[in-house]
Amino acid sequence: MELGKFEKSENFVNRELSWLKFDERVLSEARDKNLPLFDRLKFLSITASNLDEFFMVRVASLKDQVHAGYHKTDIAGMTAKEQLKEISARTHELVHVQYNTLNRSLLPALDKVGLHLVAEHENLSDAQKTFVDRYFEDNVYPVLTPMAMDSSRPFPLIRNKTLNIGALISKKDKKGKEELMFATVQVPSVLPRVVQIPSKKAEDTTVILLEEIIERNIDKLFLSYDVVCAHPYRIMRNADLTIDEDEAEDLLVEIQKQLKKRQWGEVIRLEVEDKMDKRLLDILKMEFDIKDADIFAINGPLDLTMLMKVYGAEGFDQYKTPRYQPAPVPEFQNDKDIFQVIREGDVFLHHPYMSFDPVVNFVRQAAKDPEVLAIKQTLYRVSGNSPIIAALAQAAENGKQVSVLVELKARFDEENNIVWAKKLEKAGCHVIYGLVGLKTHSKITLVVRKEETGIRRYVHLATGNYNDSTAKLYTDCGIFTCDERFGEDATAVFNMLSGYSEPKCWNKLIVAPIWMKNRFLDMIEREAENAKKGLPAGIRAKMNSLCDPKIMAALYYASSCGVQVELLVRGICCLKAGVAGLSENIHVRSIVGEFLEHSRIFYFENGGNPEIYMGSADWMPRNLDRRVEIVFPVEDEEIKKELIHILDLEFRDNVKAHILQPDGTYEKPDRRGKAQINSQMEFCMEATEKAAFHKHKTQAEKSRVFVPAEPAEDIEE
């Protein structure tokens, strides 16, 4: 497969700019007036949270490259400096649209439904002022720590992502000359940022932000001084951890050290109120050593992630999409033992449409089952009060052999995972802290059980994390199986993770970073060769991100051979679709809906004998080259049909889909004259209907009365 001509930089899109396109798609949901009002608030909050992480990691990494004098270009031919310039322009425009959406659309709409956000404390009524001032005295004032800067007190250390109020204060000296000083106070995160206050109408709800309460009363923090001005500001620091794992004797200790540094990294973004006094802004610019391109003057409240708190306000359910309750998994709607159900055949799980409970119960039952000898599991991100962690700890206390790989390098979950790792160790589990130089991102659980026929291995494989909270919000797929070939591979995976033993071959699993990329390239090439021979050929793939140059070049090659390539890529897509002479046969769409699309599904036509895979890996260099990932084939014919149905429905979605155009923009499908298809809502209805059908069927079977047959008459011959 000759890929050289497809690997030119002009054939690819810059990764960071593609990510910004994704956040724009999320923002388009906040601007969609067909959505319930409070859903739009939620999407606007998500865009802000996304942008925070983008700056702390991706922008920070580019700035590190510039500081290091690194001039190598990316796959799209852009240097780090060129990327930063373009990112600055795009993000300033994105933030402008965010606040236009808030100020011109969402806040007026909230007023109409009776929820009022007081944007400026000057607009409070007399009764509200009295309430706010009393709230400040009783709840806020005791928590605050004002800090001034003068000749004896240097500029204070401002923590990453914290909201602060900067002030200029003055005091006349003995000669009557006024001297300006800088002071700052952190808006305490231990207090609610959104505070409900009395409304002018009894039936309405009125809220004010904590920083406005502090700003109104800030003179009480600087007695004997005049407060010349006071304005909120917020900084973003470089939060990308740099760990020399080869030199780190104890990875856990080294990560704990680096987490502390995250609070004090280089300032890469400064948000200020747009009407901030220039003198105050000049002080912040100098002290944070930040350029104008990295300063965002905000027309509204800083840090829009607080809108999730507004979304949670009580009494406005009619303005929200009703919360979906995951349906029971049909195969487990009975009194059978979970291991018995798996022995009867592979079981498919589709979250959040189907409940995550069977996954939790799988570990819980294994922890208590006297026939279970061992439990092995990889953990990347888990919930704050994880029932799986509790079950693993109980299993160890019950004398099972429990081995858990806890990935300490899971970004922004490092602290959480350190806590869980220590708890598991204390309970007697054997805890592995990942591998040097690699993140373990695979999702696999192995239960070894002693049965009458001998040792049997039960395996759960999935596309998503073992997190019971996000399993209600993310779309993911998984299977339970006790196929011995998968069991042998699962054992080999854990032996590789704990003992560095590299299997000579695999029965079924495709494992990164050694084997996976070449396997995908081989399958793509096979489709191209089949197309050239006139055999059935086609590729359909669903993933979070696509930016691996080799994979994209191979897809271009397949397209040039006549292979129809259909891709569902939620976020980053560095591939160009529908471009004449390059990708006429490649079609890309992104679905942004109520749930976060997270599953990875890969379909290859294979000459009329389709192969379908699921797994934890996106088509990105980090997944294919720098992580331990697992992709697994789907062997059960009924599950294959289910996955084909999932892909079919998502490729027909015309409500939440955005289609990538040849010029790099995304457009919603033309729905004129067509029935509306919202794939996520369709899956919700289907899962609920299937569960109801199986429940009714099971109840009918239980209530069926057994009537013995009449004995046959003896007939003499």
Handedness of CA 612, 614, 618, 624 (dihedral sign): negative
Neighbouring-strand partners of residue 194? 209
335: exposed, middle or buried (Cβ count in 10 Å: 0-12, 13-18, 19+): exposed
Tally Cβ neighbours within 10 Å of residue 187: 24
- In 3D space, the residue among 341, 267, 264, 272 whose CA is nearest the CA of residue 302 turns out to be 272
Q: What distance in Å separates the CA atoms of residue 230 and residue 275, rounded to the nearest whole number?
A: 10
63, 238 Cβ separation under 8 angstroms: yes
Residue with the two structure tokens 């929820």: 115
Residue with the two structure tokens 């923002």: 27
The tally of CA atoms less than 13 A away on the side-chain side of residue 428 is 12
Tally Cβ neighbours within 10 Å of residue 578: 17
Residue with the two structure tokens 């994390």: 465
Residue 307 backbone dihedrals phi, psi, to 5 degrees? -65, -20
What is the token pair recorded at 269?
Answer: 């973004």
User: Kindly report the CA angle at 313 between 312 and 314, in degrees rounded to 5?
Assistant: 110
Residue with the two structure tokens 């899962």: 687
Q: Which of 350, 351, 441, 694 is catalytic?
A: 441
- Three-state SS string over 67-91 comes to HCCCCCCCCCCCCHHHHHHHHHHHH
Residues 6+ apart with CB under 8 A from 192: 210, 309
Torsion of CA 194, 200, 204, 210, to 10 degrees: 0
Q: Is 43 helix (H, G, I), strand (E, B) or coil?
A: helix
- Indicate the length of the chain as a whole number: 717
What is the token pair recorded at 66?
Answer: 């510039």
The distance of Cα 284 from the centroid of its chain, to the nearest Å, equals 32
* Catalytic (active site) residue 92: no
Neighbouring-strand partners of residue 566? 540, 587
Cis peptide before 387 (omega within 30 of 0): no
What is the token pair recorded at 628?
Answer: 């331990």
Just list the catalytic residues. Answer: 441
